[in-house]
Structure 1
Amino acid sequence: MDVLKQTASTIKKHRMLSGGENVLIALSGGPDSTCLVSVLAELSEELGLKLFAHYVDHGLRPEEAPGEIEQCAALGKSLGIEFTHSIVNVDELVKNQGMNKQEAARQLRYKALEEAAAACGAKRTALGHTLDDQA
């Protein structure tokens, strides 16, 4: 079974999406989220989805982030998906709350995605992960 059929089958079987809804895709530009946005774009008409993509800049890689944002924006445009991005301040949360950078980044990323989902009316947010990720 190819990836499109398998993805559509899994979404329907587990009732992950009901159709006719807005879905926000967390898009980092990495292979997991790039594959996810491409597959969902291909299936959007069949599943009745309006897709949006959002990039969260954690402020930790100032040299790379602008290029990644540009790449993600271009991908969104090529797929007909509205793209937005936000910047969060991980270092400030680490300093103020005394947590490690990974946990601070995770908390701020999910908060930013929640806000982006609300802004586009998405009830669901899709994140790409591989089997060995700690999702």
Structure 2
Amino acid sequence: CVSMAMGVAIDKKYHAYSYVFNEFDVPLSYSDDADFISFVVRNERSMKQFYKRSLRRGKEVLPTMKGLLVGEGVSDLFLYLSMVESGFSKHATSSKKAVGLWQFMPATARQYHLKVCDDYDERSDTDIFYFCCDTLSK
């Protein structure tokens, strides 16, 4: 394997890559892409810190998320997606105004009948959002 980062093949150092690539139909050869390797090497330290913080926050939301999503046969990658998108922070807000665990944009939230206004935003309300996600999974 050509994808070497700090002397170790990326797909050997980070075993989850092959699982995630497979779930998203990304060829495993992508781990050999020079830009991908450069991104991994350049961001390895900050991403490790981000994921550690995310996992600490995830203790609060993961049991419910697993019960709703995985229990309905939805891929466990949706859990990973939430970690990547928001770091499991229900108050995460992007520069493009996406909010919440899965970073719904306002229009997407309204499409799923979530209230989005200045005084209250249901994208940050985990109970309501879990109900919405349960509906999405069906």
Greater Rg over alpha carbons, structure: 2
Structure having the higher helix fraction is 2
User: TM-score band, normalised by the shorter chain?
Assistant: under 0.3
TM-score by length of 1: 0.26
TM-score by length of 2: 0.26
